[in-house]
Amino acid sequence: MKNIHLLVIDPQNSFCDIPGAELPVPGANDDMNRLAILIGRIGRKIEDIHVTLDSHRLVDIAHPVWWRDQAGNSPNHFTLISAADVKSGRWTTRIPGFRQRSLEYLETLERDGKYLLCIWPPHCLIGTSGHNVHQGLNEALQKWSEENFAMVDYVTKGSNPWTEHYGAMQAEVPDPADPGTALNANFLQMLSEADIVLVAGEALSHCVKATVDQIADNIGSEHIKKFFILTDCCSSIPAVPGGPDFPKISQQWLKEMEKRGMTLVKSTDFMV
């Protein structure tokens, strides 16, 4: 019998296109409902379920409160901030003492070929309903837990205000003072022990992409073929005006993962 793990990345209310969502991803609600159906269909054959949870504070380098323009105004949501913007004085930090470290962070993102810093609507704030798992999926998870007398493995990320933490394995720029932003070797080890890892979650263009990239780059090439990306259980953030075309990037990336040995499959087509 195969050892099947399910990895669900950030299936939280903030990302679902439901009333009150702070950062809705078009299609996410349907994604999570389809994933819930899959769990109901094959749940007894799933050995472990890992659920990552974006867990932010309001004060965060990627939230408006961190930044100010020359008139003292915070940036609008989805504003892109580059190192050049800070050097020119177009944007600076609300706390003057934060400027240099923030600038160094932006320079590191650009040097490493990461996405530019995007100012997101505050989302997945700890203690708010946006942090909770999508209702339909949560019901499926609880039912799986009861029927199999198994515990869902919840993995939190994103609480360090100095760095974005798209990928579940490590932050975009690890903070040497915070081990929680470094590579999560224990998580990688758990996944490496599986025969099949099903991957779903939100958003495909950001947290799913970053997590899977981090796994592929660190788990060892012999394990990559174990991963099955459920293409109908993850969606992308729309293109940012004047910025990246995230859906296009996501589709190109899926093809790259397929070339590396991963399998792309719809949840309705996956059979054990």
Digit-coded pLDDT (tens) for 25-67: 999 999 999 999 999 999 999 999 999 999 999 999 999 999 9
Using 50, 70 and 90 to split pLDDT, how confident is the model at 243? confident
**pLDDT tens for each residue of 208-234:** 999 999 999 999 999 999 999 999 999
Using 50, 70 and 90 to split pLDDT, how confident is the model at 246? very high
What is the predicted pLDDT for the residue at 240?
A: 79
- Crossing angle of the two packed helices 209-218 and 246-260, in degrees rounded to 10: 30
Residue boundaries of the structural domains of the chain: 4-56+123-265, 64-118
Spatial separation of the C-alpha atoms in residues 151 and 148, rounded to whole Å: 9
Spatial separation of the C-alpha atoms in residues 262 and 41, rounded to whole Å: 22
Using 50, 70 and 90 to split pLDDT, how confident is the model at 271? confident
Please give the CATH architecture assigned to the domain spanning 4-56+123-265.
3-Layer(aba) Sandwich (3.40)
Give the residue carrying structure tokens 């979650």. 201
Strands (E), the chain: 4-9, 46-54, 67-68, 80-81, 92-93, 117-118, 153-157, 196-201, 227-230, 263-265
Report the candidate in 154, 156, 153, 195 with the shortest Cα–Cα distance to residue 57.
Answer: 156
CB neighbour list of residue 194: distance below 8 Å, 6 or more residues apart: 3, 4, 5, 47, 48, 226
Number of Cβ atoms within 10 Å of the Cβ of 64: 19
